[in-house]
Structure 1
Amino acid sequence: MAETPLIPRVRLGTQGLEVSKLGFGCMGLTGAYNSPLGDDAGIAVIAHAFRRGVTFFDTSDVYGPHTNETLLGKIGELKKLVEEGKVKYIGLSEASPDTIRRAHAVHPITAVQMEWSLWARDIEPEIVPLCRELGIGIVPYSPIARGFFGGRGVTEQVSAESNLKGHPRFSAENLEKNKILYLKMEELAKKHQCSPAQLALAWVLHQGDDVVPIPGTTKIRNLDSNIDSVKVKLIEDELKEISDQIREEDVAGGRQYTSFAHTTWNYADTPKK
């Protein structure tokens, strides 16, 4: 999913731009809108952008595909930026175990961002142990299951403008089946005197001190509710009860949008240099 573009800010009294506010999208170097550049030409463009002060380079395994990441990796700039003090930490997102190991061997990875919630637990057998072996923090995104355990699609309608309309687990047929899980969570939440969303988030928080979930919201009341989830204390037996009641294998539909399923960590080995 594309990030919001960074808009350069003009400094009053100068003709230049504050380059630190401007990133560089690398997709076009490997043939998105034109013929791909050769390696030397592509590297020259990237190096020039870096010399001009650009330190944010956007790449992905779907650009090319794969050739864009390979091109950017040949200049080794991430490690250089850390050594120069321009970047403090390096993190990865939806990276495969092989990619995590190889990246960590070049420079220590601080955090790996992955989807992790009660209904998205595929990282537990391999990714979580690997991160702990290497001392890498885990940053779960969508810890409330894309709002499902907050009632989205159950107690409140999914907005017509929401891209969740295209998510497999929110399709009409699958959502009807998944509502059973929400009702189970609702009962569990009553037991713990909190909301289903708070219990879902508390479950993620209790997975370890190295776990820092990043729930998102556009509403202040939800933000306050999410923050208050840290007050929900769960013992081991309670965590097991929740895990046993809300099982990933009972969820209808894939965890990722169909068009992006091939880019998840299961299929996202970064090509070797």
Structure 2
Amino acid sequence: MDVAIKWLNENSDMLLHFSIQAVIALIILFVGLKVAKMCDSLTVKAFEKRKIDKAVGGFVANIVFAVVFAATVLMALSQVGVETTSFIAILGAAGLAIGLALQGSLSNFASGVLIIILRPFKAGDYIEAGGKAGSVQKIEIFSTELKTPDNKVIIMPNSAIMSGAIVNFSREKTRRIDLVIGVGYDADLRQAKQVLKSVLDKEERILKDPAYTVAVLELADSSVNFVVRPWVKTPDYWPTYFELVENIKIALDEANITIPFPQMDVHLHKD
């Protein structure tokens, strides 16, 4: 006990100095964290003010936060006497080792950068990528957040998105509805075609230009199949799709035109 007290007395100035430096370092960390969050928020607001895609703003804001916070940590370490030059060299070597161990995460980061540069989609677009589909909510450093029509949130690694085909359903202003309607072989094809056209003509959301297509597609096993292809504005796609399917069925029923189900004729021969 006496030895400890003696050591404390002999090194009180050093302990006091180190304690002050440690407190200052903690204050730097605390203030730096606040500044990093503030820079993150200001970056997002700056992008929103310039009406730049908010997904891009969120991605850049994440990078800004990471850079400011890393600088804060280096300042705090320098305050407590850690040689930052050597520390940076050590970090570089450690970073190489960690990079090899975290190739997947680096791939996600690189893919995130490519998404921002190539802009295959923006926030609010409905896309299909990596076997998943949903509306883009935000793009982060390592992942992209999608929201499905039934309000599920999907967090997808950026590498999974960029490693395959990306289908963007929202980029173009118009979309084509593709329907295949089958009628019985005993139906009058001219009448059936006229019924289908009358349904399309009554639907106000269908565009006049480009014009819709109604034509015989194939003579199938159990039915004569018509292809029905009207164009609509992209936001009207699903509401119009559902209405057309219902109205076509009603119109064909009223015209006594059957929509046959798959069937097979079996002939038995007696020897």
TM-score (norm 1): 0.24
Which structure: greater strand fraction?
2
State the structure with bigger RCO (CA 8 A, min sep 6), 1 or 2.
Answer: 1
Which structure: greater helix fraction?
2
Whichever of the two has the greater Rg, that structure is 2
